Structure 1
Amino acid sequence: MLNIVEGQIAAAEPRSRKYRFTSNVIATIIVGVDLFCLMLGALLAPVAYELILGPQYFIERHVNVAVIISVNFFLIRLSRNSYAHPMGRGGDSDQSVAFEFLLAALLVYATVWQLGVAKPFSTGLALCYLTITPSLLFVSRFVVRKLVWYLVQAGFIGQRIVIYGADQASSERVLRLLELERLPYVSVVGIADDRTTRIERDRPWQVPFLGGLDALVARIARGDVDMVVIALPMISQSRLDQITERLQQVSVDICLMPREALDLSQQYTMRFIGSLPLFALWQRPMRDFNRLLKAIEDRTLAILGLVLLSPLLLFTALVIKLTSRGPVLFRQERFGFNNVRISVLKFRSMYVDRQDVSGAERTTRDDPRVTPFGRIIRRLSIDELPQLFNVLTGEMSIVGPRPHATQMKVGDEYYFEAVRGYAARHRVKPGITGLAQVRGLRGEIATIERAKRRVEYDMYYIENWSLLLDLRIILETVWRLIWDRNVY
């Protein structure tokens, strides 16, 4: 039966384009776009300045400074490995390009000022250059993503992958990790494995099962597979040698997905203490300046939110007080940073004699415990707004993994028992909104499968945090509040 299905798949899929590039070309495209933006910014800045004040500057000196800034810019990006993950990490890995340019410009202008040769330079022209160029670099990232998407659709770029290892947990883990990256150029051709006795025949695979090594080699020979990812976490060296020796007969990239990426973290790196090499499995997130930036972001947005939303907060508190007896606010003990328990504030949305302070009982659709007005504020997440005070006190963040009640269950098990590695999501402060909530996992989580997906998104957020990612999540949260129908 598998041979028949494999034959049908092979017959149905077209042969690949003769000149099709892999993802390696994307980094070259991004470098070229950066160079174009730097040149265009240097050309547009004098034009913009002349339109405002006229040609009152020495263009040759400004050109020299622009060249030096460009060189520093590329040096900074290369030192930070900014071109190492083109379009990776959900599209958020390269959104710091404008900051890196401004840093390069700051270093150059500081040097010019320190050497005492800043007098001939036009401040107005410098401001035009420092406004136009980083704006071009920032916008270019969205243009590149659209360009790559077009090239992928046209068949000029593609990374076609086969996962070797049909173990259900491992293969699904790899597929989820690829889904989190949101790479438009990656497509999974299928799954292969010689251990056909371990394949669940009735299981609805997300991608086709191609067969064993012989079938995989025959498929690669057709020219529509670029990479084989070996996802066997407990593989022996002899078995690995056997697989690679067989695959070396055809032209394909062979990669091994380490056990650490499958079971622990995808952000493991090599580190050194002096000259002693170490394999870093976990990293403290948001350290040093990132931690400071996150704190400034949280306090600033919390203060702005409380000021701008104060009429809504007062109106909600008044309606709650008038429509049902009991306090306006509801306090619940939940897990916070480093698994320390915190008291989270919410507007009370349930009848006071039916509340579940422990969080063990899930809220369901048409839950009789919820008041009529409570349904409205829960649907629009207005009940979560008092948590802005938790942010001000430093217990929570605006964006982060949602804090769960200490007795919260999924199915018949507690969260920390049902989901492996659950406690690792508490390495950062919990948030009022999070990546999982804007990816369709807001509201009730009734199955272990959905609980695992939520935790995976939380881990992804922790390991790929940036200010721009926070901004995007906040904007998507507002959009979701209008259209999401899974909250009650």
Structure 2
Amino acid sequence: MLKVIEGAGAQAEPASRKYRFTSNVIATIILGVDLLCLTLGALLSPVAYELIRGPQYFIEQHVNVAVIVGVNFFLIRLSRDSYAHPMGRGGDSDQAVAFEFLLAAMLVFVTIWQLGQAKPFSTGLALCYLGLTAGMLFVSRFVVRKLIFYLVRAGHIGQRIVIYGADEASSERVLRLLELERLPYVSVVGIADDRTKRIERNTPWSVPFLGGLEALVGRIGRGDVDMVIIALPMISQARLDQITEALQLVSVDICLMPREALDLSQQYSMRFIGSLPLFALWQRPMRDFNRILKAVEDRVLALLGLILLSPLLLLTALVIKLTSPGPVLFRQQRFGFNNVKIQVLKFRSMHVDRQDETGAERTRRGDPRVTLFGRLIRRLSIDELPQLVNVLRGEMSIVGPRPHATLMMVGDSYYVDAVRGYAARHRVKPGITGLAQVRGLRGEIGTIERAKRRVEYDMYYIENWSLLLDLRIILETVWRLIWDRDVY
């Protein structure tokens, strides 16, 4: 816990002499890097192809096509708001840049072929251009991330934030949301509030309390605060006016965190039905083509998994049958998509007469209900592999929020009662693995705080889903199977 300063707030360090940019310049950097990759791809691919095959092409036509591909590429990216949230969602949002380039190129090449103008073009040069440019765009994302990290550490880019509002629940919610985004350029300076006259040293926050409005204005005047986020969900218009008028005396960005972002979802947006504006609080995730893409991903990976892991599955079933009496599989009723109950399959890891099909009794370290072989397969999550059949049935996904037993409890309460908004995690199919599991929340959840954090990760996954995020979670799952010591 950071040291808390009582009274008027902490003494600020002298303002840096470096010229500091906000996060807005990151989108410009990324756009400039994309333009550089397209230019280098168009210039270098003829050179590379000529070294391989010789000058067997018409350079003018290829340059014109490269320009059209570049225009299409930027139109696609702008239509998807790819530059709107640079490095957001942990850097997972922009790894599809190579795919967007190939899509733009395919549209141009199909058009040329349909018009009967493909004959003058070299197929080899086109493939060289596609491979070289797509490769540079993909690699550029890792290079840009390293560059941004360097600029942040050097103090040239940064977003120094103060949260205004000492309400414990609201301020903690903002801190957790910022932590989920994993933005390297964001740092929280502290928390301010006029209502709190004296903050105890044992504060609930991981950042210091700075004082009231007067102290905050003085702190901003010293030059080490870029943004103030007002996180007061029930704020009145009069009080909001009072705060903004005081902060207008100094140069700082003032933002209001809406109640909807604190209590419901951070993915709210403006939508229109015709010209009628609507404030969208919830939206169906994985809609349209994303829904089809997710379904194809699940079926393909589940089928491959069952084929490749069939020796392990058969061996596990045989050992269970030989080491303890009872069926090989354990079936448990759990919540699925849209809160519909499903029968989830697992390899049996407990003695038959001690199993709890309701899930009300949590498994604990050294649980006597678990068999000797059951401890091994639970430790390596082999007991979860039969759920590949649930995925093929369309009841589950490879990656998604873990399905909970219908009577599962945390503390003395059922999950649905203990965690506000819990049921919203069932807007997608449950998964064999999930983001919460690879972020250190695998295994027993014994406290309401850990339960809330697991649900927050589930909601974050739902609202930020992508194929690349799924791939990342799968790879991290394999890694954690080796090193995780919190599962039993």
Q: What residue is the counterpart of 2:250 in the other structure?
A: 250
Equivalent pair of 1:17/1:156 in contact (CA under 8 Å): no
Aligned to 2:119: 119
Q: Secondary structure at the match of 2:354?
A: coil
Mark the CA change 1:162 to 1:487 in structure 2 (over 3 Å): closer, same or farther.
same
Deviation at 1:139, TM superposition (A): 1.7
Determine the C-alpha separation between the residues in 2 that align with 1:396 and 1:52: 49
1:398-454, Cα deviation, whole Å (9 max, x unpaired): 000000000100011100000000000000000000000000000000000000000
CA distance change for structure 1 residues 233 and 379 in 2, over 3 Å: closer, same or farther?
A: same
Q: Deviations over 1:92-130 (max 9, x none)?
A: 121221222122112211221122211101111111222
Equivalent-residue separation in structure 2 for 1:380 and 1:299 (angstroms): 23
Tell me the residue number matched to 1:322: 322
Q: In structure 2, what is the Cα distance between the partners aligned to 1:308 and 1:437?
A: 23
1-side partners of 2:465 and 2:4: how far apart? 43
Aligned to 1:486: 486
Read off the aligned partner of 1:213 and give its amino acid letter. Answer: L
Residue 380 of structure 1: how far off its partner (Å): 0.5
Match of 1:72 in 2: 72
Match of 1:10 in 2: 11
Structure 1 residue 197: Cα displacement = 4.9
Mapping of 1:75-474 within 5 angstroms? 75-197=75-197, 199=199, 202-474=202-474
- How far residue 245 of structure 1 moved from its aligned partner, in angstroms, is 0.4
**Code of the aligned partner of 2:105:** A
Deviations 1:119-174 (Å, cap 9, x if unpaired)?
A: 10111111122222122112211211111011101111100000000100000000
Normalising by the residue count of structure 2, what TM-score does the alignment of the two structures yield? 0.97
**Kindly, what percent of the aligned residue pairs are identical?**
85
Amino acid at match of 2:229: V
Kindly indicate whether structure 1 or structure 2 has the higher relative contact order, using CA contacts under 8 Å at least 6 residues apart: 2
Deviates more, 1:271-280 or 1:181-190: 271-280
Write the distance in 1 (CA, Å) between the matches of 2:291 and 2:209. Answer: 45
Q: Which moved more, 1:346-355 or 1:33-42?
A: 33-42
TM-score, length of structure 1 as denominator length: 0.97
Aligned length: 486
- In structure 2, the CA distance between the partners of 1:464 and 1:238, relative to structure 1 (3 Å rule), is same
**Equivalent residues of 1:90, 1:180 under 8 A apart:** yes
SS in structure 1 at match of 2:11: helix
- CA gap of 1:197–1:243, structure 2 versus 1, over 3 A, is same
> Paired residue for 2:34?
34
Q: Judge conservation of contact 1:17–1:155 (CA < 8 Å) in 2.
A: no
- Pairwise CA distance, 1:204: 4.2
Which runs of 5 or more residues in structure 2 are unaligned? none
Question: For residues 181 and 57 of structure 1, do their structure 2 counterparts lie closer, same or farther at Cα, with a shift above 3 Å needed?
Answer: same
Q: CA deviation at 1:285?
A: 0.4
Q: Which amino acid aligns with 2:462?
A: I
1:55 lines up with 2:55 in the alignment: yes
Distance in structure 2 (CA, Å) of the matches to 1:468 and 1:387: 22
Shift in Å at residue 52 of structure 1? 3.6
Pairwise CA distance, 1:6:
6.0
Kindly indicate whether the alpha-carbon contact (under 8 Å) linking 2:334 and 2:342 is maintained by their aligned counterparts in 1: yes
1:329, distance to aligned residue in structure 2 (A): 0.5
CA distance in 2, matches of 1:363, 1:165: 39
Q: Distance in 2 between matches of 1:242 and 1:125?
A: 64
Root-mean-square deviation (CA, aligned residues, Å) is: 1.5
2:191 and 2:155 map into 1 onto residues whose CA distance is 22
Cα contact 1:167–1:199 (8 A) shared by 2: no
**What is the CA distance between 1:2 and its match in structure 2?**
6.8
Following superposition, the deviation at residue 45 of structure 1 comes to 2.1
Equivalents in 2 of 1:251, 1:191: separation in Å? Answer: 18
Structure 1 position 362, deviation (Å): 0.5
| 2:205 aligned partner, one-letter code | W
Unaligned runs of 5+ residues in structure 1 are: none
